[in-house]
Amino acid sequence: MEIIQKVTVKQILTDTSRQKLLDRFNERKSFLQQELQQLSFQLKRLEKNQKSHSVLLEQQFEKERAARIEKMKILDFQIEQLHTLPIGSELMEKEIEGLVPVHVGDVWESVQQEKSIIVKDGIIVEIR
């Protein structure tokens, strides 16, 4: 019999993986900045086209703007943390579900233990 269990995928930090993560964070940050500019443009266009100024509309735009600014702050913090981590640190990348074989006579404690896959520069180096 097989059961479904969560498996943690961890990445070992190397110079290459650090640079890829930095690139990914900066790409997301750039995308958020573009979204902020687009929101500002849309608000100005709506204000110009509509004679009556809607407070509700402006509140919604401000809420969207604040959410993106918060995401950018989180990305800045992650970038800062990435610079402080030493090479060889294990970073949790994601959780996936995997099939785990279970047989009569297995020790239940060992079946329940958290399973991990360790990846270094895109190559699996260890399964725990």
**pLDDT, position 128:** 86
Question: Which two three-digit tokens encode residue 51?
Answer: 């004679």
In this prediction, residues 25-47 reach a mean pLDDT of 90
**Structure confidence by residue, pLDDT tens digits, 86-110:** 999 999 999 999 998 899 999 998 8
The token pair that represents 48 in the structure block: 């110009």
Max Cα distance, the chain (Å): 76
pLDDT of residue 59: 85
Instruction: State the amino acid at position 68 in one-letter form.
Output: R
pLDDT value of position 50: 73
pLDDT at position 54 over 90: no
Which pLDDT score is estimated for 85? 93
In angstroms, rounded to a whole number, what is the distance separating the alpha carbons of residues 72 and 35?
Answer: 11
Average pLDDT estimate for 18-47: 91
Q: Where are the domains of the chain?
A: 2-127
pLDDT over threshold 90, residue 77? yes
Alpha helices (H) in 1-128, listed in sequence order: 15-49, 55-84, 108-112
Could you give the CA distance from residue 69 to residue 76 in angstroms, rounded to a whole number? 11
Contact 11, 94 (CB under 8 A): no
Is the pTM value of this prediction over 0.85? Answer: no
